[in-house]
Structure 1
Amino acid sequence: MRPDPAALRAVLHRSLADPAAAWSLGGYGAGATFRREAGEPAGAPCGGRPGLVTPRGALVLEGADTLVPVAYETALGGGAWSQALALCRPLHRPSPGPAPRVSEVGADAEAARAADRDGVLFCLGLPLRQARLLARVQGEAVPALRAACGAPADAALWASLPGLGAVLVAAHGGARIEVVLPDAHPGPRAHWFDKLLRQGRLHAATAPIPAGLAPVIHLHPPHPLTEAGFEAGRHAAFQALLARWGDPALVAIKRRILAGEDVTVPDTRAARGVARVARAQRRWPGAGGGAG
């Protein structure tokens, strides 16, 4: 896989300007998602870093262009599908996971807003291999989280964070998503599903991420299926990403199905999934042959 940092930076820059794009950072079962509405005020993170800052959260993409991009689509029920550009790190460069307990990290020197840098970070100690989940608090909330240090994070602690005025931070290196709690849809959201997290997976089984890579950040470009129908421009934009950074074998299978060829689909989860996506997309004018 060749990341092509210049091309990736251009994609990230265009996507930051699109309020319909969504972003997520974390691992299977825990992390954060960043969204914004079209008219929502948005600025840039302090220090000249790439990203976005809104009243409800922040996205910082420092170092994202050094990760390995993998574009893919997954089949959903009812003729629907999802699409994503996963930014992955090689597993031969593992970062040590946090101790399985709440611990104080210190002042948040990497906060997206300069005014938040005096907030105190606490690592929640969740068993994520791709990122860390932290809570940032200020003032009287600091002693409350200090009292939780040394014990594993639990549902009661998670439920208490909004009342403490906490900001949830999902971070990997210099990249992060900040979520002002309480979160609300649509907008930046934090999630922690203990049953999924404890499976120890790097990603969903339906995501065709190459062996040896762990997805850290996901860009979720605007989907072509909207309430108004099928948007061919959105579809073509993602198909260009798929042609550049998708699995070549899967892209070839999809191209042949869209062209109407009689294709023997390999008996793998990824191949069966891409065949379902291709057949779903053939229903829409303007989608045929888009993978090439």
Structure 2
Amino acid sequence: MEPDLQEIVERGLADAETGWNMGSFGAVAEFHHVGDEVPQALAAPLTQVTQRGGVRIARLAGVRPLAYEMLSPKPHRWSQAVALCLPEAEAAMQRRDVLTELGPDSQALRPGDREAVLFDMGLAQPQVDFCIRTADPELLAELRAHAGRSLFDHDNPVMMAILKAHPHRVALTRLGRVEVYQKIGGPDTGGVSPEGPHTHVLPKLLRAGRTHSANAPIPAGWVPCASFHPENPVIGRMGEEKDFDPRSFDAFQALLRAWGPEEYLAAKSAVWAELAAGRGPESFTAPASRTGRTGLRNGLRQWRRMKGDNDCLAAWTAAFDASAEADDSAEDEKPGH
């Protein structure tokens, strides 16, 4: 029986271990709980808000969930996510390419933010309007003075004004929004993103015009408009090591069986059957697809965490997962990515 998507989303919003994000390849807003922060009762349907940020899922009709696991640069770990996808045409946002004033943010998650003014940053991304929101008179004047220009013009002072003022960031997609109230990672934060909700805007990646990483197995014609990251069985909320947790592992495997790529599932199942039988890798042919090869490699990593190491598994790892740290199919495993 297929999981109920609304029930899974509601459960995730109430779970401190589940992270959320909306954005594109190069511009992403992330929502996470921090430390011992306890999720509040949902402020509105499918909405979670803390003092650091918030997320609202406004639509699930027509959504295709895709559960997947990705390789980590660390060969004893893997990441996992569920992408909430829409057909490409339905996912499209405004793709404004200049700073644009949108007016008061009447849909803000917190009532006190609804008089603040929303500006589209003009990043021209396919499935997200990446915005800032402010009521600060000085920043408003600067933004209005340079509206209609690209933030990336070499003589445009607005980006530095934004970095100095730390306005709220708001990522809008056809499925809802993520809001971030914390400071922007940079000189004022020691060059690192703050723990919990934060944003990344990376001009080099934006120029690729991609909706998602090439390593994410999103089906052709579909676009991820939001993603959530259920509790990882080997990685803590802030990226720390943790002992293998069978409960969270089994919970995600159920989602993977229902919503995961067939070639990934087939490859993982095949290598587990070989390992269970104690057969070596000599006569095994690696899958032809990237997704299948990822399934094979993560299957080896997961078997080790579930069952421990032995000579047979070591031979499989040497044959198929020995170059993990140098492999560009491995993803940054920071929580929420």
Structure 1 length as normaliser, TM-score?
Answer: 0.89
Cα distance change on mapping 1:188 and 1:145 into 2, 3 Å: same
Match of residue 290 from structure 1? none
Match of residue 250 from structure 1? 264
Match of residue 111 from structure 1? 108
Match of residue 280 from structure 1? 301
Residue 215 in 1 paired to residue 224 in 2?
yes
1:110-129 alignment to 2 at 5 Å? 110-129=107-126
Counterpart of 2:88 in structure 1: which amino acid? L
The offset of 1:49, in angstroms, is 3.0
Name the CA distance, whole Å, in 2 between partners of 1:14 and 1:41: 14
The offset of 1:147, in angstroms, is 1.3
Counterpart of 1:151 in structure 2: which amino acid? R
The offset of 1:100, in angstroms, is 0.9
Cα distance change on mapping 1:65 and 1:281 into 2, 3 Å: farther
> Does the CA-based 8 Å contact 1:22-1:221 persist in structure 2?
yes
Given candidates 141, 144, 159, the residue that maps to 1:143 is 141
The offset of 1:221, in angstroms, is 1.1
Structure with the greater alpha carbon radius of gyration: 2
Match of residue 26 from structure 1? 23
Counterpart of 2:292 in structure 1: which amino acid? A
- Deviating beyond 6 angstroms after TM superposition, the runs of 4 or more aligned structure 1 residues are none
Cα distance change on mapping 1:252 and 1:280 into 2, 3 Å: same
Name the CA distance, whole Å, in 1 between partners of 2:145 and 2:41: 34
Cα distance change on mapping 1:41 and 1:234 into 2, 3 Å: closer
Name the CA distance, whole Å, in 1 between partners of 2:98 and 2:90: 24
Specify which structure has the higher proportion of strand: 1
> Structure 1: 5+ residue runs without aligned partners?
288-292
Name the CA distance, whole Å, in 1 between partners of 2:107 and 2:42: 10
**Structure 1, 250-259 or 192-201: larger mean CA deviation:** 250-259
Name the CA distance, whole Å, in 2 between partners of 1:223 and 1:6: 19
Structural RMSD (CA): 2.3
Counterpart of 1:149 in structure 2: which amino acid? A
Name the CA distance, whole Å, in 1 between partners of 2:243 and 2:228: 22
**Structure 1, 60-69 or 256-265: larger mean CA deviation:** 256-265
User: Aligned with 2:74: secondary structure?
Assistant: helix
The offset of 1:244, in angstroms, is 0.5
Residue 90 in 1 paired to residue 104 in 2?
no
Name the CA distance, whole Å, in 1 between partners of 2:105 and 2:4: 31
> Does the CA-based 8 Å contact 1:86-1:217 persist in structure 2?
yes
Match of residue 167 from structure 2? 166
The offset of 1:246, in angstroms, is 0.4
The offset of 1:66, in angstroms, is 4.1
Given candidates 129, 134, 141, the residue that maps to 1:132 is 129
Equivalenced residues, count: 283
Identity %: 33
Given candidates 263, 266, 279, the residue that maps to 2:287 is 266
Name the CA distance, whole Å, in 2 between partners of 1:40 and 1:78: 28
> Does the CA-based 8 Å contact 1:44-1:53 persist in structure 2?
no
> Does the CA-based 8 Å contact 2:142-2:158 persist in structure 1?
no
Counterpart of 2:198 in structure 1: which amino acid? R
Name the CA distance, whole Å, in 2 between partners of 1:6 and 1:83: 17
Given candidates 185, 198, 203, the residue that maps to 1:194 is 203
**Structure 1, 165-174 or 33-42: larger mean CA deviation:** 33-42
> Structure 2: 5+ residue runs without aligned partners?
185-192, 236-240, 276-282, 309-337
The offset of 1:186, in angstroms, is 1.6
Residue 7 in 1 paired to residue 4 in 2?
yes
User: Aligned with 1:219: secondary structure?
Assistant: strand
Match of residue 178 from structure 1? 179
The offset of 1:145, in angstroms, is 1.2
